[in-house]
Amino acid sequence: MNPGPTISNTFGVTTIATFIAICLFGVVLAQAYQYFETFHDDRRVLKLLVATICLLELGHSIGLVYDVYILNIVLHQQTTRIITFKGGAIATAFGGLITLLVQTFFAIRAFRMLPNPWRLIGPFCIFLSGARFIGSIYLAYKAFISYSLTRYGRENKWLVAALLTVGAAIDLIIATSMIYFLSRQRGHLLNRSTRVIDRLIIWTVRSGLMTSLTALTMLIVFRIAPRTSYWSAIYICLGKLYSNTIISTLNGRQQLRNSISSTTAIDLSTKFTSRRPNSGWSRRSPTSPVFKPIAIEMNTTTDVVFDGVSGTPSITKYPPPSYQPPTPTSAKNNFSV
């Protein structure tokens, strides 16, 4: 059954979604502040990317707040005039650009990490993301000139469904390929490096599956109830999820570096003594070999090379140092009390 538009499933849902989106915008700003405070030496392209996303999120939030004002003040209790306003069109355009930047970021990461020929997944996903962005701009234009949300959804139903499907497919392709590659590498590393791989897999799942599942949920809701604002409410928050995903990934590099730095020390000491009976002290034989106490420090070093764009490390393994037993030396009158 296709429910019709009411105040609760149009004005109310849009207002609640906007409040949630504004809260997510606050999280974006907090993470951006942490990024600029922590990563002073990052490449300019990364700093410019984070700053651009923050500005786009600001414009996206302004458009959403403007729509809430129109829905709740100008069109108070006028369900017959449910329309998509100029603020919604601006939010749609900014959201499409944010999605393009984030998906391009993760596609470049996949291109740099995956081996041939799987690395071609990166350029393929960039192409799909660019096509999706063009479709988003067209939807923004249609929203700008539309006066009815119901008519807007009916006329552009196929395009909305296509864009949501493509966006979810891009996220799933990138996430699945990265998880497969990292899982293959996991079996060839030491235990400590394996924990690093596990952390990277968790990040990949969090960054890719969260946005793709949100897009799929929005697609299902759009198919079930296209005349309501439930699907647009999910779309309002989708762009904020993309922004939080990429900035949290950049900030997580510091935690990854801290988990990699580790040192394991092993102290070995061997004493050969000959204790005389009924004596409180012992004496080594003058002709017996003397082994000096030694301490072996086992350092597991993992070089993390950040490519400046992907924010994902490539891991170089170093085997532990080989142990060489000490050469015995003769000593005379060596006493141990």
pLDDT digits over 191-250, tens only? 666 777 777 777 777 777 788 888 888 888 888 887 788 888 898 898 899 999 999 888
Question: Per-residue pLDDT for 270 more than 70?
Answer: no
Is residue 108 included in any domain, yes or no?
A: yes
Is residue 270 included in any domain, yes or no?
A: no
- Give CA–CA dist 64/15, Å, rounded: 9
> pLDDT digits over 69-94, tens only?
887 887 766 655 555 568 888 999 99
Q: Which domain covers residue 241, as residue numbers?
A: 8-260
Is residue 267 included in any domain, yes or no?
A: no
Is residue 323 included in any domain, yes or no?
A: no
Is residue 89 included in any domain, yes or no?
A: yes
Is residue 328 included in any domain, yes or no?
A: no
Is residue 279 included in any domain, yes or no?
A: no
> pLDDT digits over 106-143, tens only?
999 889 888 888 889 999 999 999 999 999 999 888 88
Question: 47-61, 157-171, 263-277: lowest mean pLDDT where?
Answer: 263-277
Question: 175-179, 190-194, 285-289: lowest mean pLDDT where?
Answer: 285-289
Is residue 236 included in any domain, yes or no?
A: yes
Question: CB atoms < 10 A from the CB of 231, how many?
Answer: 22
Report the CATH number at residue 59: 1.20.1070
Domain count, the chain: 1
